[in-house]
Structure 1
Amino acid sequence: MSSFIVLKAFRRKNQGISSTMLSLYSSSTIKASFHSSFPPLRSSPPPLSVGSHIRLVKRDHSVAAASGGVSMSTNRDSHGSSSQVAEPFFRSVLGQMETVYLNRNPTPRSVLELVRSVDDEQLCYDHLAFRTFGIGGYGIDSLASFFLDYGYTQMDELRFPAKKLRALWFAPPHASAVPGGSGVDGPLPRVFISELLVEQMSTQTQDVIRRYTETSPNGRKYAALSSALGSLPWEKPLSSEFEQLARESEYAAWTLANGYALNHVTISVHRLKSHLNKIKKLNQFFEEKGFKLNSEGGVLKVSPDGGLLQSSTVADSISFKFSDGVTKSIPCSYIEFAERLVLPQFQNVPESDIKEFHRRDGFEVGNADKIFESTNQEQLSRRTG
């Protein structure tokens, strides 16, 4: 593999557009830092299945599902796609994020392989999810700018007071799937980005987070690069500071050690063509295969309106070498499953004519709150329990 593969980022603001341009490079310094903490990457991601061509269609209907005071409005007139950068480049960056994710996490890789072994049609992602620190420009906006520049549209905000988190989700632009493409080459997925409300944390936790973000003030500009490389935008943490954060917020500790790495990808269950296209059957299938699913609030998380059904595996663990030389097993990432049911007003539409806009859109605070627990120690302990 060439010693130069991932990124130089710059902004272009001409003719009323703003786009984040990424060209892949990797210096020996970045590689050395990355390989000292994580296993080496394969030169290319595992093969994805080949299937039918699916095109995202305009969502011009709405559904309201209130939870915790958050409105799940999904009215859209357009996705405001103004990017003039080639879509293949955008997908190549997503593909590198996916490669890092699959190489670090054997459970998602095995899950995808098993689904493809049963359902060899196109496998679609419902959404990609990331975690951030809401301080010093390192929060949601640091990653959102990359997706907004490629035509994504900001949608609803979700609040999680007990976890001291907020999140935004972003709708994809009108883009055709790559012919025969699956995963990041299929219909573009939604994007869910959360951030820790750092100023609501204890003084000790704030001090630790500031120590890393303030000593790397420009790291926030390269969030997408950090995710694609699998490299932290700040210095590797001390093991004692990781543990300190974990005592107050496991989300904070996860983000300190994993940075902008994909927290999870989500399989769009209803788009499967086999008998696994119902989430209850999919959950049963994986439990019978010995996979541990997140049991917080029950294995199946259902929105109050009954239209959004979600579940997830328990996160994998990875051996991480901290800056003080201590090596520990820490939580990494997991894979989620989501089934979006047909909205009541479209119940009479023939099944063969059902499109994505006929289905429940958006996210749900109650469901997401439980899905966050997939990286918590209580769930991870079930692997060996």
Structure 2
Amino acid sequence: MNRVHTLFDHLWQNYTSRLCPSAAKVHALLEEGHPLQNDHIALRTFNLPKTGLDRMAAPFIALGYEPKGEYYFEGKKLYARHFELPGEEAPKVFISELMVGRCSSELQLAVRNMVDQLDDSALDDHAFLYSGRPWQLDFETYQALSKESEYAGWLAAHGFGANHFTVNVNQLSTFEEVKQVNDALREAGFAINMSGGEVKGSPDVRLEQSSTMADKVSVTFSDGNQQIPGGFYEFAKRYPLPDGTLYQGFVEASADKIFESTDS
């Protein structure tokens, strides 16, 4: 597990320093002397040969993770899988990819121009998972991509890194419900993602989720710095299956709305 912990430590440091600086405040609000347990992280990528989901998953597979559920988000043109580490209390990994070929020719050209800047071996080192943006990008191109696909714009601007970590609400000592977490965060000044309702899912689908809206962070484009949405924090409560074990998958309808935490 040491290698797993090391990888997630690197992902966490990158997430809190570059994408979601407010994570420290969330921790102070929720942990109350008990370490927070991370339910899962989420990573974004483009489904091109150099950067596809399988390339993103490879470092986790090498650590023993196994592929589990598959998910489709037709409206957002996304495909995703989640991965679990058998026999260990390790965070799940949710990796999504933009189906570039289903997008406009303008978006396809812009994305391929970015990804073409990568060496074929750029993703061989596991450190690429938290390496940030490896291509040049101007703000006008970011805006054009975001207009068609918020996901494409976010990924183009930020590159590689966890766009969110997720607090396991089942393990909290001071809150039992996702709604209670939302209320505490709202009182502390956080904006909650209200798309699809502030709590997505229900006990009926074995999973409830909510999230903050993404921090605004400074990003350096080739033509100057701009403030844009970065990372956010998610909160998940899992419910038992008939056999008594907690559901470990994801719910497409809920995840679809969680993606919108990075909307401008």
- On whether the aligned pair clears a TM of 0.5, the verdict is yes
Match of 2:6 in 1: 92
- Distance, in Å, in 1 between the alignment partners of 2:24 and 2:124 is 26
Partner of residue 339, structure 1:
237
Conserved? CA contact 1:138–1:220, under 8 Å = no
- Distance in 2 (alpha carbons) for counterparts of 1:217 and 1:110: 38
Q: Match of 1:114, as an amino acid? A: L
How much has 1:294 moved relative to structure 2?
0.2
Q: Deviations over 1:147-172 (max 9, x none)?
A: 01111110111000000001000012
Aligned residue pair count: 263
CA distance in 2, matches of 1:223, 1:110: 32
Distance (Å, rounded) in 2 between the aligned partners of 1:270 and 1:198: 37
Structure 2 residue matching 1:128: 3-state secondary structure: strand
2:122–2:128: 8 Å Cα contact kept in structure 1? no
Task: Say whether residues 1:270 and 2:170 are aligned partners.
Answer: yes
> What's the CA shift for 1:333?
0.2
Contact persistence 1:279–1:339 (CA under 8 A) = yes
Q: Please report the TM-score for the alignment, with normalisation by the length of structure 1.
A: 0.65
Q: Deviations over 1:97-152 (max 9, x none)?
A: 10011113222221012112x3x223211101000011123121111000011111
Which residue identity does 2:115 align to in structure 1? Answer: T
Instruction: Give the counterpart of 1:309 among 208, 211, 228.
Output: 208
Which residue is 1:154 aligned to? 67
Query: Is 1:113 aligned with 2:21?
Result: no
**Structure 2-normalised TM-score?**
0.94
CA distance in 2, matches of 1:322, 1:173: 41
- Aligned twin of 1:224: 126
Q: Which residue of 2 aligns with 1:18?
A: none
The Cα of 1:304 is off from its aligned counterpart by 7.9
For the residues of structure 1 that align with 2:35 and 2:227, how far apart are their CA atoms?
A: 34
TM-superposed deviation, 1:91: 1.7
In the alignment, which of 202, 205, 226 is matched to residue 328 of structure 1?
Answer: 226
2:113 maps to: 211
What displacement does 1:95 show? 0.5
Choose which of 97, 116, 121 in structure 2 pairs with 1:195. 97
Distance 1:214 1:134 in 2: 13
Per mean C-alpha deviation after superposition, the further-off stretch among 141-150 and 365-374 is: 141-150
Normalized per residue, the structure richer in strand is 2
Identify the residue that residue 237 of structure 1 maps to in structure 2: 137
- Kept after mapping to 2: 8 A contact 1:142/1:220: no
Distance 1:96 1:266 in 2: 16
Confirm or deny: 8 A CA contact 2:203 2:239 kept in the other structure: no
CA deviations 1:57-105 (Å, max 9, x no partner) are: xxxxxxxxxxxxxxxxxxxxxxxxxxxxxx3233212201100111132
Larger Rg: 1
Query: Corresponding residue for 2:153?
Result: 253
CA contact (8 A) 1:134 1:196 kept: yes
2:23 partner letter: P
State how far apart, in whole Å, the 2-side matches of 1:209 and 1:359 are. 39
Runs of 5+ in structure 2 lacking a partner? none
Once the 2 structures are TM-superposed, how far is the Cα of residue 252 of structure 1 from its aligned partner? 0.1
CA distance in 2 between partners of 1:227 and 1:148 (Å): 13
C-alpha separation in 2, matches of 1:308 and 1:363: 7
Code of the residue aligned with 1:167 in structure 2: it is A
Name 1:34's counterpart in structure 2: none
Q: How much does 1:369 deviate?
A: 0.2
Offset, 1:225:
1.3
Contact 2:195 2:260 (C-alpha < 8 Å) held by counterparts: yes
Gaps of 5+ in 1: 1-86, 176-186, 347-357, 378-385
CA RMSD of aligned residues (A): 1.6
How far residue 223 of structure 1 moved from its aligned partner, in angstroms, is 6.8
Report the equivalent of 1:127. Answer: 40
How far 1:372 sits from its partner (Å)?
A: 0.2
